[in-house]
């Protein structure tokens, strides 16, 4: 939980600092708007990339669980001492 809060605060502070920096730039409105749109694009792309990485990790975890369940089932079905046969 602490890592989540730290990450959220760091994101908020960095975003706020960048917005203040863009607002105080000694350039015209067009240039400021262009940089602002670039900021929006970068932030949305970062969220999309984070979601894709998370989704890929979740898929690999599910695949690992299914593989582990199959191996466990095979191991429980095998009788290494042959005691089931009389």
Number of structural domains (the chain) is: 1
**CA–CA dist 72, 74 (Å, integer):** 5
Q: Is 82 a domain residue?
A: no
- For 9-68, write each residue's pLDDT tens digit: 999 999 999 999 999 999 999 999 999 999 999 999 999 999 999 988 888 877 777 778
User: pTM to 2 decimals?
Assistant: 0.62
pLDDT at 84 over 80: no
Of 2-6, 18-22, 68-72, the range with the highest mean pLDDT is 18-22
**CA–CA dist 68, 41 (Å, integer):** 41
* Domain interval for residue 10: 2-77
Q: Is 26 a domain residue?
A: yes
């Amino acid at each position: 939980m602490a890592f989540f809060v730290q990450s959220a605060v760091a994101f908020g502070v960095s975003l706020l600092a960048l917005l203040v920096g863009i607002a105080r730039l000694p350039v015209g409105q067009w240039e400021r708007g262009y940089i602002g749109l670039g900021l929006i694009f970068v932030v949305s792309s970062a969220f999309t990339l984070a979601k894709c990485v998370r989704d890929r990790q979740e898929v690999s975890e599910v695949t690992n669980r299914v593989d582990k369940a199959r191996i466990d089932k095979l191991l429980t079905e095998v009788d290494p001492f042959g005691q089931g046969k009389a």
